[in-house]
């Protein structure tokens, strides 16, 4: 049995927060003692059996570090598991004091999960340049404190490797789906019919709709809706706002583009299962850190996604998703059209995706790796 002290910038809300909660619950199910340390949430924390959540004041400032220090000193046999994302620890993503505090405790058993490593400036803007330098210093300090390092995508390895002062294996730990599969055929059918008639195709996209993906979707979605057999549903927080933007630019979007807004996990599952096909493009390409695609493949959905500079070999080697080059919208639309005309290939893709998820990405693999 292990005792865990999980340090995270968010818990039970947001992508990393949902992930951390699932990890905590699974570790508790393994009879481990689980403590979670996170900033106070305005909605409070869930009361999950076996998981003790401690609310920290502020965003990992001096008071929070004093509380953490006292707790960890009193539990010196614990494993400290840090869910690391630079901006999650406050100070406008430049919380050097937190990273120094962690570095000073390098004699403890510290596991670090790098969901992100550092900000990389895409321009010569002074603030961006400063942010890049500081977040790389922070990552070096955190990595130097770790006895085990995990990354959500193997693409982070080449960024982290030069930061290590000693030989330490970097372990890939893909992020599993945060949406449980709901097995309710009638509810799925009703969900589908609320968007398209029985003889039409329903394409889905699941996201929180960050700014960097919106320009791509504003071009891609009208191209997809030019096929009058198609209806489309945008799933997730921010989807209604994006629909308004697209609708103002395209007549196709007025009646055949739908948006759910933020949904609970149960409703998200019904919507995913209702779709014939999912499009999940990313500016840097699909990676194993993308929970939106993990949710789709866990639901046996055929997925068309983008291959970019960060895309790992596993996606092309397994042929579990259909890959198109980043920014090639014409290719995306053509690929979707071919798949809609080929039921057999859609079914093959869906099954291959599910097999890949079960064999490589399921939550049990994460927990087994952490406890090994």
State the average pLDDT over residues 303-308.
Answer: 98
Specify the pLDDT at position 250: 74
**pLDDT of 175 strictly over 70:** yes
pLDDT at 320 over 70: yes
CA 189 to mean position of chain CA atoms: 27
Mean pLDDT score, 332-354: 98
Kindly report, residue by residue over 206-239, the tens digit of the pLDDT: 999 999 999 999 999 999 999 999 999 999 999 9
Task: Inform me whether the pLDDT recorded for 130 exceeds 80.
Answer: yes
Calculate the average pLDDT of the chain.
94
Q: What are the two backbone dihedrals, phi and then psi, of residue 123, each rounded to the nearest 5 degrees? A: -145, 180
Q: What is the mean pLDDT of residues 316-323?
A: 97
Instruction: Report residue 15 as tokens.
Output: 């992508």
Over the stretch 79-103, which tens digit does the pLDDT of each residue have?
Answer: 999 999 999 999 999 999 999 999 9
Interval 57-78 mean pLDDT: 92
Put residue 307 in one of left, alpha, beta given phi > 0 → left and psi -120 to 50 → alpha. Answer: beta
In this prediction, residue 189 has a pLDDT band, given cuts at 50, 70 and 90, of very high
Count of CB atoms situated within 10 Å of the CB of 56: 18
Indicate if the pLDDT at residue 252 is higher than 70.
no
Q: What is the pLDDT of residue 121?
A: 76
Predicted confidence (pLDDT) per residue in 7-42, tens digit: 999 999 888 999 999 999 999 999 999 999 999 988
pLDDT of 166 > 90? The answer is no
Closest by CA to 119, choosing from 142, 141, 135, 103, is 135
pLDDT of the residue at 312: 96
Q: What is the pLDDT of residue 16?
A: 94
Banded pLDDT at 104 (limits 50, 70, 90): very high
Mean pLDDT check: name the lowest of 73-77, 160-164, 238-242.
Answer: 73-77
| Upper half-sphere CA count for residue 329 (Cβ side, 13 Å) | 13
- Give the pLDDT of residue 171: 96
Question: What pLDDT does residue 251 have?
Answer: 65
Each residue of 305-344: b (16+ CB within 10 Å) or e?
Answer: bbbbebbbebbeeeebbbbbebeebeebbebbbebbeeee
Whether residue 227 contacts residue 340, with contact meaning beta carbons closer than 8 Å, is answered with: yes
3-state secondary structure 153-210: CHHHHHHHHHHCCCCCCEEECCCCCCCCCCCCHHHHHHHHHCCCCCCCEEEEEECCCC
- DSSP H/E element including 17: helix 14-29
Q: What is the mean pLDDT of residues 310-324?
A: 97
Residue that the structure tokens 């807004």 belong to? 261
**CATH code 3.40.50.2000 region(s) in the chain:** 3-173, 185-361
* pLDDT value at residue 359: 96
Kindly tell me if the per-residue pLDDT of 165 is higher than 80: no
- Pairing mode of beta strands 33-39, 3-8: parallel
Query: In this predicted structure, what is the pLDDT of residue 253?
Result: 62
**Could you tell me the fold of the domain covering 185-361?**
Rossmann fold (3.40.50)
**Domain 3-173 belongs to what topology?**
Rossmann fold (3.40.50)
**147: pLDDT strictly greater than 90:** yes
pLDDT bucket at 368, cuts 50 / 70 / 90 = very high
* DSSP class of 359: I
Count of beta carbons in the 10 Å neighbourhood of residue 94: 20
pLDDT digits (tens, 9 = 90+) for 258-280: 999 999 999 999 999 999 999 99
Cα–Cα nearest to 334, from 195, 196, 205, 226: 226
């Amino acid at each position: 049995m292990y005792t865990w002290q999980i340090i995270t910038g968010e818990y039970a809300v947001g992508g990393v927060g949902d992930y951390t909660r699932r990890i905590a619950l699974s570790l508790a199910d393994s009879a481990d003692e689980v403590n979670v340390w996170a900033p106070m949430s305005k909605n409070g924390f869930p009361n999950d059996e076996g998981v003790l959540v401690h609310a920290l004041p502020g965003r990992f400032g001096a008071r929070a570090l004093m509380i953490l220090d006292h707790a960890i000193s009193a539990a010196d046999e614990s494993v400290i598991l840090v869910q690391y994302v630079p901006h999650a620890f406050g100070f406008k993503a430049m919380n050097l004091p937190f990273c120094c505090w962690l570095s000073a405790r390098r004699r403890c058993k510290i596991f670090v999960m790098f969901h992100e490593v550092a900000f990389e400036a895409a321009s010569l803007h002074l603030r961006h340049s400063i942010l890049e330098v500081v977040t790389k210093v922070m990552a070096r300090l955190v990595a130097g404190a770790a006895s085990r390092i995990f990354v959500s995508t193997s693409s982070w390895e080449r960024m982290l490797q030069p930061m290590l002062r000693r030989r330490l294996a970097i372990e890939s730990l893909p992020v599993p789906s945060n949406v449980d599969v709901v097995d309710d055929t009638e509810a799925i059918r009703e969900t589908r019919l609320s968007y398209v008639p029985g003889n039409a195709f329903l394409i889905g996209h699941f996201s929180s709709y960050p700014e960097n993906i919106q320009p791509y979707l504003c071009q891609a979605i009208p191209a997809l809706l030019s096929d009058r057999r198609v209806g489309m549903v945008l799933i997730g927080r921010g989807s209604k706002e994006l629909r308004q933007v697209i609708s103002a630019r395209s007549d196709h979007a007025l009646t055949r583009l739908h948006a759910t807004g933020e949904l609970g996990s149960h409703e998200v599952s019904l919507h995913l299962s209702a779709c014939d096909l999912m499009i999940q493009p990313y500016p840097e390409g699909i990676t194993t850190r993308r929970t939106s695609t993990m949710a789709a493949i866990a639901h046996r959905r055929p997925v068309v996604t983008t291959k970019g500079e960060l895309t790992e070999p596993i996606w092309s080697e397994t042929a579990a998703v259909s890959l198109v080059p980043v920014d090639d919208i014409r290719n995306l639309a053509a690929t979707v059209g071919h798949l809609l005309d080929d039921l057999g290939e859609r079914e093959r893709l869906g099954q291959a995706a599910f097999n890949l998820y079960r064999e490589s990405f399921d939550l049990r693999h994460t927990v087994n790796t952490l406890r090994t």
